[in-house]
Structure 1
């Protein structure tokens, strides 16, 4: 089935996929998909996700390529418009920006990423952070956070 994903969502998915394809193998572990959906502020049903993963990974290799990942994620993203998604990312950001400074520290971001995916090594986390905190300020403002999540 062709999913109706717009460019913005495709960009978000590609960015998310690349973030978790740390070895640049063109595959991500199916275990990480729930993490990615969580990162994107996406609600999903575990049983439904499991079924979709099985469908897209018939050999149970534990890995999927970008297309299969899109098939899975698209299932949950379709009802969601870009504005709602931005809203959810804002909410997620606000949760961590407890003082309401408009930014979070890279330390906090590292905690978020580590909490989202406990398989990421410290080096991988640092790599992701370095990519996001492009100005090396040690803080990530909402725009940088959005960029990390949406790749705009």
Structure 2
């Protein structure tokens, strides 16, 4: 994937934004509801209040229909009408990785994944987390880097 002069690890175009949007649109109706937004923030490790979710919806829902559609989501991602990211892409993906990256080394280990998933109430073993990491870890270093995390979130091949 060409970076077009942008730093590596950022979303390049509207197709990548759509893939991320589709991950967040849990029920597949083409819109992100307040409850889906709350689920997203919770899955990323944030204990966001209902008031903050409401504020975020108010800010992002520019047509005031109570949902975030793809166009509004692309605006959040700063993807311009030309179809390319004008500031490099999704800061949210970096933020999501950082929530799991407890030692702040830029990658997620099986132990970090285990701690985060269990904190969120997902009961799994360290071995299961190692298998999850392995399924995403394209360079075989035993960690999920930002590039690998981005590929997982956007369903793109290495």
**TM category, shorter:** 0.3 to 0.5
The normalised TM-score by structure 1 is 0.47
Which of structures 1 and 2 has the larger relative contact order (alpha carbons within 8 angstroms, sep 6+)?
1
The normalised TM-score by structure 2 is 0.46
| Greater Rg by CA | 2
Higher helix share: 1
